[in-house]
Chains A and B, each alone.
Chain A
Amino acid sequence: MLPALLKRLLTFAATLAVASALVFAVLELLPGNAAQVILGDSATPESLAALEARLGLDQPPLARYVDWVGGLLQGRTANSLSYDTPTAELIAERLQVTLPLAGLAMVLTAAVALALGVYAASQHNRLGDVGVMAASQIGIAIPNFWFAILLILLFAVQLQWVGAGGFPGWTDNEGGGAWAGLQALLLPALSLAVVQAAILTRVTRSAVLEVMREDFVRTARAKGLTRAQTLRRHVLRNAMIPILTVAGLQFGNLITGTIVVENVFVLPGIGRLVFQAIANRDLVVVRDVVMVLVAVVVLVNLVVDLLYLLIDPRLRRADT
């Protein structure tokens, strides 16, 4: 168990190291002079020189990279060019919206996909199965931001049950609260979840069908377990590996999907932050936000890898 764990932790660290080098290369080295990109062609030599000094562009690239990564690891980051606040503060504040949003979307995705996928598998080739598969095919084709707009059209414009967007905050002082905050995230989470649930439903269905054909399932039924008991104790546990794999990859899509959906619902999350940073040419914020998003995606995949070890004892050997 321990060597397998260590191997995964090392892969995690190596992936993050390579990812940070890539982000640094693309955003700091590729443009040539980052100060010129930020200020545009009309910048005066004086303002250019001032910004170059502020960004530390007079330092060699390796020193800048080490300084950046070292700072990130200690929670010390450069100031945003447009907000003049450390990016760590901005990101921490915005993650309070983005992470609950992605988490809620993942919970909705898993709940819908497991229920529909298992139902479709149990109805294999019957009307229920065909219906779920047809619905999932359509779900996969719907752009999440369009579904978000449709939800606004229905619930905010037609029925007028909710506002068309915005976020009241998590605390009463801000005029919101836990319940009000959760309500504001419900429609965005739903629009993120639809596509992912459609994909995961198909994966769940085929994984469950595959396991139901195994001999041990027949044995379980023969020894007198009911269909529901067999499903719970034997089928679902064995079908979990492919479902978890896809769910882990989906979390990456959910995190980047928030960039679009937060803009539809005008939510003050990390997606809106990076979007505004692009508009303001605030490369410092873009660099740090992209790195944080990549880190979250890689971390979730590490968690999925560790869950494999819990679910499937065969994977605990070091050579797997």
Chain B
Amino acid sequence: MSTLGLLEREGRGGGAGFWTLALRHKSFFLGGLLTLSLVAMALGSLVWSPYPPGDIDIRHRLAPPSAAHWLGTDSLGRDIASQIWVGSQNSIVVGLVAVGIGMGLGTLLGCVASARRGWLEELLMRAADFTFAFPALLSAIMLTAIYGPGLLMSIVAIGIFNIPVFARLTRGAANVVWAREYVLAARAAGKGATRITLDHVLPNIANVLIVQATISFATAILAEAALSYLGLGTQPPQPSWGRMLNEAQTQMFQAPLLAIYPGVAIMLSVLGLNLLGDGLRDLLDPRLSRGR
């Protein structure tokens, strides 16, 4: 991650130039298209789906793809296309809330560490270093062991995992801004640490945080899918791509296609967000954009 490069962009206007370049950038364009499709799917599913995703129709169980059921039906006769369509809500909610928790608290901690320095910074950063020992899946396992499985627990676990990621990133980027002359001028003019953080630091590190947010969003979707596959995440009747894969595995010999669709949905969502993140990183980094 070229933090310095992203920070160097400060002062340059984004404006129309950004979008002209953005639409020509292959990663950004493809990633944006895939991500927009995911968001559109989730929003669209709030008002319409081909069938109610939980509707059981045993007479048409394991039906192959047809005009009535575009992707066929599962072992209970539920429409696969509808489950994938509505399951997108889950991915969006998990991504938004988990990244929201991580970014909200992580940025706060990173800003405090950078503004106060000294032992507080040392303590916060050592704590952030330490959390590498607790990957999201392990935190989720501990939480579900106590509170039982569920969407909320998996979101909290993934969110907690994201806090140190954002804290470390924010602190590094904010330290660079704090060393700038205009911050010195602001301090000389009598602005306090909170005011400087809000007026100067946060606007200047926003680019770095946005890029990380897209990548963390993708990681959150993957982690939630894994937890739901294990039965520790989203619970029935709410459709979830990870749980669909678990159910599909038991029907693998009769209906192998069932194990394909949800995986493709997860892969395309994650691919879209990662490409979008790569594209944003290039577009917001002036040193790289010169070479483009």
Contact = CB atoms under 8 A, between A and B. Distances in A.
Contacts of A230: none
A157 B222 CA distance: 25
Given A153-B252, A157-B253, A293 B270 contact: no
B186 interface: no
Interface string B258-286: 01101100111011001100000000000
A26 B275 contact: no
> Most chain-B CB neighbours within 10 Å: which of A141, A150, A152, A293?
A141
Interface stretch (B3-11, B77-85, B136-144, B201-209): B136-144
Contact of A153 (B135, B138, B218, B259): B259
A179 interface: no
Contact of A138 (B142, B218, B267): B267
Contacts of B135: 252-253, 256, 297
B177 to A, nearest CB: 26
Contacts of A70: none
Interface stretch (B14-22, B39-47, B65-73, B225-233): B225-233
B230 A263 contact: yes
B189 interface: no
A144 B223 CA distance: 10
Interface stretch (A77-85, A91-99, A231-239, A271-279): A271-279
B146 A27 contact: yes
Main secondary structure of the interface of B (DSSP, over half): helix
B145 to A, nearest CB: 4
Interface in A119-161: 137-138, 140-146, 149-150, 152-153, 157-158
A27 B142 contact: yes
B142 A275 contact: no
Given A137-B275, A141-B218, A260-B226, A252 B133 contact: yes
A275 B145 CA distance: 9
B145 A153 contact: no
Contacts of B226: 143-145, 260
B249 A137 contact: no
B146 A149 contact: no
Given A26-B142, A259-B141, A290-B138, A146 B266 contact: yes
B267 A143 contact: yes
Interface in A234-265: 249, 252-253, 256-257, 259-260, 263-264
A22 B137 CA distance: 16
Given A152-B252, A157-B252, A141 B267 contact: yes
Contacts, number: 118
A90 to B, nearest CB: 16
A275 B137 contact: no
A294 interface: yes
B141 A274 contact: yes
Contact of A264 (B132, B232, B249, B270): B249
A2 interface: no
B256 interface: yes
B256 A143 contact: no
B274 A145 contact: no
> Most chain-B CB neighbours within 10 Å: which of A22, A143, A249, A263?
A143
Contacts of B230: 259-260, 263, 275
A294 B138 contact: yes
B275 to A, nearest CB: 7
Given A145-B245, A149-B245, A164-B252, A30 B137 contact: no
> Most chain-B CB neighbours within 10 Å: which of A18, A252, A278, A298?
A278
A315 interface: no
Contacts of A145: 225-226, 229, 245
B281 to A, nearest CB: 13
Contacts of B274: 137, 140-141
B252 A149 contact: yes
B272 to A, nearest CB: 8
B248 A149 contact: yes
A260 B137 CA distance: 9
B134 interface: yes
A18 B263 contact: no
Interface in B93-148: 130, 132-135, 137-138, 141-146
A32 to B, nearest CB: 9
Contacts of A149: 245, 248-249, 252, 259, 263
Contact of A15 (B133, B137, B225, B266): B133
Interface of B: 130, 132-135, 137-138, 141-146, 149, 218, 222, 225-226, 229-230, 232, 242, 245, 248-249, 252-253, 256, 259-260, 262-263, 266-268, 270-271, 274-275
